[in-house]
Structure 1
Amino acid sequence: MNSSLYIATTGLTAYQKKLDTISNNIANAETVGFKRREASFEENLAISIENQKAAQREIGRLTPNGIRAGFGVHMDGSKMILDQGIPKETNHPLDLMIAGEGYFQVGKQQGGTTETFYTRNGSFQKSPTNNGTYRLVNEEGYFLLDKNNRPVEIPNETELSVNEAGRVAATTQQIGLVNFTDPQKLINEGDNLYRFTGTGNQIFATTSSSIKQGYVESSNVDLSKEMSDMITTQRGFQFNSRSISFADQMMGISNGIIRS
């Protein structure tokens, strides 16, 4: 009976985590450059069941020796789905969209060093400096980096103009787009920013993608699919909840028989 309770409980926990993943996707359906995630599951370590030695007492009730029984399930993680979002034209010169694979590099000043994060969100704003230029920053104030990991800076009197290769017309800088040998090692730090947990040699400059000025990338969340997945997941959650209730009733009956 205890195993029935445990297995159903692992199912409840796994379904709850999947619901959390779906809810996060739905909440970010309008977030620029957001990539949806899909939950994946693994079976808990199975156990091998051996028959009792007194087989003559279990005639007609024996299972094959060594049969393996599952012992519940757990959420193995959530995979980021990298499909391109639909381009959305804004006609705003500070909006940039990556057409293809890759990520913008944005920096945050931490003491005397620059901490680098990665994002698909190309919605930027002007941030003036003390030397007659302005930087491109996101909503959190992180500044856009060029291919040499330096802040992109444009003269104050100049409007931003970027070609498809990412070259800034008023300067010699080129916006640095990078990609990863394993993008699943990107950890979401919130605010649509990612930190890479792999090694430096797994990061490389991408030349197969282009930049479109005056556009942003919509999220790749399909609300109809997310709602369908939510209904299915809620139904699975309810089934596991009922399993716990039935197992509890069976334990009550067993205890009643023992006491009598």
Structure 2
Amino acid sequence: MNTSLYIATSGLNTYQKKLDTISNNIANAETAGFKRREASFEENLAISITNQQAENREIGRQTPNGIRTGFGVHLNGTQMILDQGTPKATDNPLDIMINGKGFFQVGKGNDILYTRNGSFQKSPTNDGTYRLVNAEGYFLLDKNNQPVEMANGSDFSVNEAGVIAATNQQIGIVDFVNPQKLLGQGGNVFRFTGADGEILVNIPSAIQQGFIESSNVDLSKEVTDMITTQRGFQFNSRSISFADQMMGIANGIIRS
């Protein structure tokens, strides 16, 4: 009985975490550059129960000895799906998108983060220039990790190679040997938790000005997954209820 409760409880926990992942995907369906996540699960450790009552009765046995029983499943992690989102024209020259692989470098001081969201605004400085900043307050960086900075009154114009006409700075685009080592920092920006040698530079991706990348969330798929996951959650809830009823019956029989 207890095993049934453990298995059903682990199922509830994993389905709840999957629902959280799906809900986050749906909530960010309109977030520029957002990459959806998929939850993966694995079985909990199993135990072996010896079922040999007498060795002389096991002569000629073809199946393995013992019975293996598991204790449900647990969340193995969530994987970021890096498929590119659909380009969305904005006619705003401060909006840029990466057509291909890679991430923009953004930062404050020595803190460098990464994002696919290319929606920026002007941020005036005290020396007659302006920088490009995203909604989280991080400045767009060039390939040398320096803020993109232009004189007031100059237009922001960038070619496909990421070279800015007014300053000749080149926008920094990097990729990673294993992008799954990117740790979300909120607001669709990431911190890389791997080694510096795993950061790839000189990425052959093109910059499109006046566009932003839509999220790669497929709402119809997410809603379908949510319905399926809710059904699994309900099934495990009923399993707990049935196991509880069976334990009550067993206890009643013992006491009678």
The equivalences for 1:34-45 within 5 A come to 34-45=34-45
Structure 1 position 70, deviation (Å):
1.7
Q: Kindly indicate whether the alpha-carbon contact (under 8 Å) linking 2:32 and 2:214 is maintained by their aligned counterparts in 1.
A: yes
% identical aligned pairs: 74
- Determine which of 148, 151, 158 is the counterpart of 1:155: 151
Answering whether residue 192 of structure 2 is matched by residue 215 of structure 1, we say no
Give RMSD over aligned pairs: 1.4
| Unaligned stretches of 5+ residues in structure 1 | 57-62
Whole-angstrom distance in 1 between the partners of 2:39 and 2:139: 32
* Partner in structure 1 of residue 17 of structure 2: 17
> Quick check: 2:52–2:65 contact (8 Å CA) kept in 1?
no
1:49 aligns with 2:30: no
> What is the count of residue pairs matched by the alignment?
250
Query: Which moved further from structure 2: 176-185 or 206-215?
Result: 206-215
Q: Could you say which residue in structure 1 is the equivalent of 2:97?
A: 97
Where 1:171 maps in the other structure, the secondary structure is coil
TM-score (norm 1): 0.93
CA contact (8 A) 2:51 2:67 kept: no
The equivalent of 1:205 in structure 2 is 201
Aligned counterparts of 2:166 and 2:182: Cα–Cα separation in 1: 33
Distance 2:217 2:130 in 1: 33
Indicate which of 122, 126, 136 corresponds to 1:126.
122
Residue matched to 2:190: 194
TM-score normalised to structure 2 length: 0.95
Q: Which runs of 4+ in 1 moved over 4 A?
A: none
CA distance in 1, matches of 2:137, 2:240: 49
Deviations 1:220-245 (A, max 9, x none): 00000000000000000011001000
> For 1:79-129, what per-residue CA distance to the aligned partner results, in whole angstroms no more than 9, with x for missing partners?
0000000000001000000000000000023xxxx2011000000000011
Task: Verify the 8 A CA contact 1:102 1:206 in the aligned structure 2.
Answer: no
SS of residue in 2 equivalent to 1:190: coil
Q: How far, CA to CA, are the matches of 1:48 and 1:102 in structure 2?
A: 47
